[in-house]
Structure 1
Amino acid sequence: MSAALPDEILSEILSPALKVSDERFSDTSNVSPFAKYEFSTSAYLVVCKDWLRVATPLLYNVVILRSRSQANALEKVLQKYKEFGRFIHKLRVEGGYGMAMHTILKSAPNITDIFLTLKIWSDDSTQGLCNGLPLINPHRVIVVDPHERKARKNQNLAALTAVLLRCIREWDNMRVFDFPYSTSYGDPLWAERAMKLVEALGHSKGLHTILLGQFFQIPPFLRSLSKIPTVQTLQFKVHPTYIKTAIDGHPRLKALVRYPPESVEVPEGLVHIPDIAPSLNPSFIPMGSASEDTRERVWSRVFSFAMYVEAHSPGSTFREKHSHKSHLAIVLVSKYFNRLALPYLYECPNLSDEGAKLLAEQLPNRPELGSFIKILSMPYASTDIKLTLISLATNLQRFLPSQYLSLGCFEALGRSAGSSLREVSLSFEDIEIPTSLLASFTELRELTISASAVKVVPDTTSENVLHKLHTLRIDSMFQDISFLDAFSMIRLPALRTLRIDFYRSLALDADNSIIQFLKAHGSSLRHLSFQFSRQMLPYLKLFDICQELVEVKFLENAKLPREILTCMTPHKSLAKIIVDKTVDDPGDFDPAMFPALREIQIQACKWPTTEREISKSDWVPLAEAWLKRGIKLTDSDGEHWIPRVKRARGR
């Protein structure tokens, strides 16, 4: 396919995938924007010969070096293919990286932008940089001296600083310099370095723009920068709110300083409505030639978007819709709009305590409004108000109360909306619930229940309830375990996801109840989440009981017994394990027992972002050991470790 395309077109197609934005290249944040682990873009070069020819200049246009191994690898490439060095225009070096940097800089005569860091460790040789920097003549120089507790000081850094100051005096192509210091640097050594840098910049022959960071007061070196004869612009990257008045009082600074554009913040809830020209035909009726049914369907679709507001429910991952005060204007446009938009206004009322009272007073007189309510987040209100709202909300799909529910309210919920409810979150206080009450909820898919103060009592209809329930979340299970016992007797053929919390105060016979519960429903489970603060049952043969599990999550405050992660016969479904803090070394793990396992996620895992951190990290060798077994170790965001380039020799 690519053979039919000119190189220019193919280059435009590949550029977005291979291009490094200048914003990322010049980013001087403490954490490098390239610290996030991504697959190498060099993979595009091996697609075909045409892609290799066109993509190679794009790949080498901006080079980012974050380890000595990468520098050594680039050195070898440039030694073998000298023409590749001419493609390099921007070079970002986030360390010293030894003598390889001399070869790289010597082979790249067309460098226009260079990024250097003064975060140099004592064992990080800068000899290659010191030898190579005089060989280039960049247009823009970006220097970073990270703000740490104390200014860094060692021989390698001193050597690099001395060469850099000398080069700044001699680089006659340099027009732009990103100044690394600000007033927040407390160590006197930084102030000394800043003044030496200003003195070197004063000898530059063509410097016209200096970029500055965050300032809270005017330091002496800022006035010194303004006195450099060739400088035309002092460009702040962050608006210096605190020193603007002082700058305005300094004529030379005021003439040179430029500020970043200020972002305009629109107050929340303020929506700009553009002016609409008056109609040339005042009697025009939108969609006048369409049928009434078509007009209503179109307007209803419009209102479904116009009256939709997204928000996150606290402590949850799902999205909620809430009616907004601005929506009231839509239903007041006309009787026609009122009739079509009213269902969307009441679909998910955002009720305060007072709002719940007003709605409860309104619904008995207009019961049709209750049928519009689909999502009800019950606020703190009296039992009478809750009963009124629950009894008249006959088409509820989600019910999320914020306080304990009485048995009477629960019974009313089943009578009024049992046939429509799909998601319910329940919390009870010291009551007994016969499982027959659950029979009213014929469409329930998701149930979250706080089991800390509720007794569930099996009765004659226990086996004929909740046939469509696919997600069950059991929270706050303390002493009473009647919930487990009762639900062990219920058939839940659609159950696929279970989240269950255990606590140290569980009764002594809880272990058997847990096992019986899993034996009753484990065969259908696909996703299982445990949270517990005591030693898990070492004799719980979880994977022998739940043989269809695809994902299991252990969030524990106690050690996870090794026996939990074993099984008698190979478990052919498990693809992912999520644990809180740690996982055993793969040396004792038999991949044949979990042939489908591809990922182990550790919530406490945090991948290192620098070469030095990588060398000291305990996560990296563990991740690489698991990767040899074909299993990715991921952090809390689901990012897995990508092995770095390894050095074949030390330099």
Structure 2
Amino acid sequence: MTESVPNEILELILRFALQVPTPTFEAWRTQRTFCGSPRSTVSDLLVVSKRWCAAGTPALYESAILRSPHQVTALASQLNASSRSKDGLKLGRYLRRLRIEGGYDGAFIKVLNAAPGITDLFLCYDLSNKDSMAGLIRAFRKISPERLFLDTVKGNGASDHVGINLSKAIGGALPTWKKLKYVTASDLFVFWPDLLREVPKFPALEHISLSSRTATTNIDGNNLEHLARIPTLKIIQIRTMGQFATPLLLHKHADPRAKELIYLGVGKHMVKLTEYPDVEVTLENPPSLPELPDKLWDKILGYATHVHDPEFLDVDEETFHRSCNWPSVASTRKAVLLLSKRFHRLGLRHMYSIPHLKSENAVETFIARVEASDELARLVRVFFIPRRVELKAPKRISAPLISLMRVDRRVRVFPDITRNVERGGAFLLESMEQDVGQDVIDPSVWAMFANLKNITLYGRCSALEGVDIPALALPTLEVLELWGCDVSMLGVFARMRHVAVHVVISRTDLALYESLPSLRQLGFSAVAAPDAVILLEVHGAKLDSLAVDMREGAGAPSVPVLDHCPRINELRIITTTAVPLGIPFLTSSQPHTSIRRLTFPSLILDRIRNFSAKAEEWDSFIDQLTEHRAKLPNLKEFCILEPFQWPVN
């Protein structure tokens, strides 16, 4: 089929498919890098034919990312074998970009010796005690890279004896790297003395890119002063400003030569330090504010009263942490409104749109004001109480929050808000996480939430009997999670079935008559699986993701839940911080060819605390997965969402 394609075209096609993308090669690692690095199968293209193999081999060996000692050894063996082959093919001559994350040893030196044409060298400092730097200086001197990347995840990898030896090896080779023009370091990288004292010996370096932390963390000597001694250096790029890397502080403390070289920012937004004023720009008697239309002042006040875009409603813990812990933010919001009557009129909606409440007293005061004023209630768009705010009792609000779009579990608004709106009215609410206790809920209220995309309900709530189920309710609902709800509430969503249609309509129009047409994720407790089957029989075929809460136990393992969800590609297993007992409903279900990812939203991995106990739990989990591995033939990923420490390398 490809015989008529010229070799030049075939090589271009294979190069596009086989080469490691630049963003992938240059990406700084995170803790998650180590649990999401499956082996690429793209090299299988080379077995199509001898012609494809010959055309694609240079592209395949152009880049190498080595994440374990085994991979380093395998590549070294392959390069050495090719150098001894009778046909004279030396694969090492193709290698241009080399990234090593683990496995500094004799095999790594063999890779360097076999690949003198390396232009991009990516070195990681999160090392193990098994790594050895013996002979590395000599091997480094045999290559001549043009770009050097220095990476660390933990920030202290260069301080142990193995890291010190790696710094010495880099420092010893620096004077010989006469083509090296560009160096960049990850956000947590630190210049330790063994490398810092050698930095002025760069023979041709022109550009070095650092984070504010790297630039200002001075262990033994001033980093910027040492960098400024490099005779060929043109740019010291500080990518982000930090506590000790503001323009004023850099003007005050940076070395005079360094000031001429420092640029702040990234890409086209880089600004030279000398273009920033070297003194605080303040006016004792500032002029009056410019005359601008209300529409423009409204935009300005929106940004002045938020730490983010005022239209950004997908707030989270980090957003509120920044706002509640920066005194200037809280004081600015109030000061802006008190500046003038005009600002109070324009800024009031921004003040109440996304309230930032940092104490229980602040929460109670806000609720009291909103309940006392329908005008203020109509301004609230997001009601979110961070976990770090301790509440003695759950909060409940009864007010016409007709503009509310997002609400979290810690403040109860549902179903009370529906009592303030006439039947047939509609809410703007898009995301709702509510603890509804044992309330009895009228199913007809769901017809009022045409914009809801996410529903999460906690508690043994039940549905009012004898009420018609709104079949066409919740047309945009994507995520439905019912944790502990009574079977009658599950039945409400199950009975949102297709409406009987007696005329011929197009497939596009048919979607308008399908209940919950947008539903893609369903969640329920494992112990409620027998009841949840009534939901799965109706909506299971449309799901992409299934969430199962195992905190109360594995439930009824005999229920073939997965058989009702043929399209899901993700299974979310919710547990305590401990390792789950197993994969729910796997033993009772048929082989599932669509599941590619197991996600653990609440699992915490810590290689320091209780490691031996958790190792035993993992053994049990892996044993079950191994026993039934054939039932998940396409499983590729484990995804852990909470902070964790993964055993590096």
Closer, same or farther in 2 for the Cα pair 1:568/1:450, shift >3 Å? closer
Alignment check: 8 A CA contact 1:421 1:441 kept: no
Deviation at 1:224, TM superposition (A): 3.8
Correspondence for 2:178: 173
Instruction: State yes or no: 1:413 paired with 2:422.
Output: yes
Give yes or no for contact 1:605–1:635 (8 Å, CA) kept in 2. Answer: no
- Cα drift, residue 132 of structure 1: 2.8
Query: Are the equivalent residues in 2 in contact too, given 1:543–1:571 (CA < 8 A)?
Result: no
Equivalent pairs: percent with the same residue?
16
- Aligned with residue 600 of structure 2, among 599, 602, 605: 602
Output the CA distance in 1 between the equivalents of 2:561 and 2:525.
26
Q: Which residue of 1 aligns with 2:574?
A: 580
Cα distance, 1:60 vs structure 2: 1.9
Q: What is the 5 A alignment of 1:108-147?
A: 108-127=115-134, 129=136, 132-144=139-151
Query: What per-residue deviation string (whole Å, max 9, x for no partner) do you get for residues 276-333 of structure 1?
Result: xxxxxxxxxxxxxxxxxxxxxxxxxxxxxxxxx9865679xxxxxxxxxxxxxxxxxx
In structure 2, the CA distance between the partners of 1:150 and 1:70, relative to structure 1 (3 Å rule), is closer
- Contact in 2 for aligned 1:46/1:52 (Cα 8 Å): yes
Q: Does 1:555 align with 2:549?
A: yes
- Give the structure 1 partner of residue 98 of structure 2: 91
- CA shift in 2, pair 1:487/1:106, >3 Å: closer
2:250 to 244, 250, 254: 244
CA change 1:553–1:135 in 2 (3 A) is same
- Could you say what secondary structure the match of 2:98 adopts? strand
Alignment partner, residue 9 of structure 1: 9
* Residue equivalent to 1:318: none
Aligned positions of 1:215-234 closer than 5 A = 215-216=215-216, 219-228=221-230, 230-234=231-235
Partner of 2:55: 54
Does the CA-based 8 Å contact 1:182-1:215 persist in structure 2?
no
Aligned to 1:281: none
Verify the 8 A CA contact 2:586 2:631 in the aligned structure 1: no
1:494 counterpart = 2:497: yes
Change (3 A) 1:76 1:584: same
Letter in 1 for 2:558: T
- Written as runs of structure 1 = structure 2, the 5 A alignment for 1:453-468 is 457-459=464-466, 462=467, 465-468=469-472
Question: Given the superposition, is the C-alpha separation of residues 66 and 232 from structure 1 closer, same or farther in structure 2, using an over 3 Å criterion?
Answer: same
Instruction: Indicate conservation of the 8 Å contact 1:64/1:93, yes or no.
Output: yes
Measure, in 1, the Cα distance between the counterparts of 2:546 and 2:223: 58
CA distance in 1, matches of 2:233, 2:450: 72
**Residue of structure 2 equivalent to 1:503:** none
TM norm structure 1: 0.55
User: Who is 1:296 aligned against?
Assistant: none
Unaligned segments of structure 1, at least 5 residues: 271-308, 316-349, 362-375, 391-395, 497-524, 639-645, 647-651
CA–CA separation in structure 2 for the residues paired with 1:426 and 1:225: 52
1:73 paired residue number: 74
Shift of 1:86: 0.6
Distance in 2 between the 1:492 and 1:56 partners? 58
- Classify the secondary structure of the residue corresponding to 1:64: strand
Q: How many equivalent pairs are there?
A: 489
Q: Using a 3 Å threshold, how does the CA distance of structure 1 residues 596 and 624 change in structure 2: closer, same or farther?
A: closer
Q: Give the greater-gyration-radius structure (CA).
A: 1
Instruction: Determine which of 523, 528, 544 is the counterpart of 1:529.
Output: 523
**Is residue 207 of structure 1 aligned with residue 204 of structure 2?**
yes
The alignment's TM-score, normalised by the length of structure 2, stands at 0.55
Amino acid at match of 1:244: L
- Residue 101 of structure 1 deviates from its aligned partner by 1.5
Contact 2:548/2:573 (8 A) holds in 1: yes
Is the 1:458–1:486 Cα contact (8 Å) retained in structure 2? no
Say whether the 8 Å CA contact 2:215–2:224 is kept in structure 1. Answer: no
Q: How many angstroms apart in 1 are the aligned matches of 2:225 and 2:417?
A: 76
> Which residue does 2:194 correspond to in 1?
193
Matches within 5 A, 1:174-323: 174-176=179-181, 178=183, 191-198=192-199, 201-202=200-201, 206-209=203-206, 211-213=208-210, 214-216=214-216, 219-228=221-230, 230-238=231-239, 240-242=245-247, 243-246=249-252, 250=256, 252-260=257-265, 263=269, 269=299, 312=313
Cα deviation digits, residues 530-550 of structure 1 (max 9, x gap): 259xxx47xx74688777345
Which 5+ residue runs of structure 2 have no aligned equivalent?
A: 84-89, 272-295, 301-309, 317-352, 356-369, 384-396, 500-518, 642-648
Distance 2:548 2:490 in 1: 22
Letter in 1 for 2:557: L
- Paired residue for 1:566? 558
Question: CA separation in 2, counterparts of 1:434 and 1:248?
Answer: 65
- Distance between the aligned counterparts of 1:453 and 1:547, measured in 2? 20
CA distance in 2, matches of 1:9, 1:569: 49
* Coordinate RMSD, CA, aligned: 6.2
Give the Cα separation in 2 of the matches to 1:411 and 1:38: 53
1:157 and 1:238 mapped to 2: Cα distance?
25
Q: CA deviation at 1:494?
A: 0.9
Residues 107-163 of structure 1: CA deviation (Å, up to 9, x unaligned): 112122322234332212334645532332333444446664585333x55554444
- What SS class does the counterpart of residue 269 from structure 2 fall into? coil
- Aligned residues of 1:90 and 1:113 also touching (Cα < 8 A): yes
